Amino acid sequence: SEKKILVSGCLFGWHCRYDDGDTPCLHPQFLKWKEEGRLIPVCPEVFGGLPTPRPDCQRTGDKVMSCAGGDCTEQYTKGANEALRLAKENDVALCIMKEDSPSCGSTHIYDGTFTDTIIEGQGLAVEYLRNAGYKVFSENMIEEVIKALAK
Ligand code: SF4
């Protein structure tokens, strides 16, 4: 299949993390897809209007709060909608998103207490993508992605 794949910008190599860092995915198959132009990068937090660097944020119930106590729910919601828009526009087959992020986490996120505690859950952009029917995997699941694409 030559279908496109939505990916987190920080996995793609953008320096878009809250701390200005990147976390590039170096799996050989990911790099091959990148070279073939099949990856559609998105950073929901930056596309939602947040600067880089920015305060650390975590999901707490229906809201997304910063470690400084600010409510970032509006920007996270805009970013989640942007991710969904890009997925639809590019007719992506599935998504590979950065684990643990309040936007992009697909199996785990931080618990909202800013005590370095990780719980089961998903980021807001991933929630929107899944609600629209997209399959979302993390950077730790490239083998599963290869299998899913082969179907
Ligand atoms: Fe990476 Fe997603 Fe965080 Fe952007 S919002 S830095 S793409 S994990």
User: Rounded mean pLDDT of the chain?
Assistant: 97
What ranges do the domains of the chain cover?
5-150
Q: Which residues line ligand 1 (CB under 6 A)?
A: 8-10, 16-17, 43-45, 98, 101, 103-104
pLDDT tens, 42-87? 999 999 999 999 999 999 999 999 999 999 999 999 999 999 999 9
Q: Is residue 1 scored above 80 in pLDDT? A: no
User: Which ligand 1 atom sits closest to the C-alpha of 10?
Assistant: 1
What's the pLDDT at 2? 86
Distance 88 CA to ligand 1 centre (A): 19
Torsion over CA: 90, 96, 103, 133 (sign) = positive
Q: In what order do the strands lie in the sheet with 136-138?
A: 39-42, 5-8, 94-97, 136-138
User: Which ligand 1 atom sits closest to the C-alpha of 23?
Assistant: 1
pLDDT tens, 130-140? 999 999 999 99
For residue 41, say if its preceding peptide bond is cis, omega within 30 degrees of 0: no
- Alpha helices per DSSP H over 36-113: 44-47, 73-89
* ipTM score assigned to the predicted complex: 0.99
> What's this model's pTM, rounded to 2 decimal places?
0.97
The angle at the Cα of 4, spanning 80 to 94, to the nearest 5 degrees, equals: 55
